[in-house]
Structure 1
Amino acid sequence: MFTENSIIVKNWVDLIRKGTFTRDQVPALGNLQEVVFLILDKEESDV
């Protein structure tokens, strides 16, 4: 359903990076949480 290029995914990743929301606040909508967490985890492992 959602991919790394989906606007909603990009928005959630950005909101979490800025500290506006936490991972726990990402809605359980399709695979949204899975894709958002995948991007964030990938970034953390690259650091």
Structure 2
Amino acid sequence: MFNVLSGLVIVWVGLVKKGTYELEQVPNISNLKEVVSDQINAA
């Protein structure tokens, strides 16, 4: 459902990178956490 261009993914990646939230706090909505995790680990 979500991919790297999804707005919600972009927002969560930014929030995790800034330190506002931890990766564990990303909601388990469909594959959101997986895609955000992949983006954080790829950076």
Does residue 16 (structure 1) correspond to residue 16 (structure 2)? The answer is yes
TM-score of the aligned structures, taking structure 2 as reference length: 0.97
Larger radius of gyration: 1
Large movers: runs of 4+ above 2 Å? none
TM-score (norm. length: structure 1): 0.89
**Deviations, residues 6-34 of structure 1 (Å, cap 9, x unaligned):** 00000000000111000010000000001
Q: Paired residue for 2:27?
A: 27
RMSD over aligned CA atoms reads 0.4
Name the count of aligned residue pairs: 43
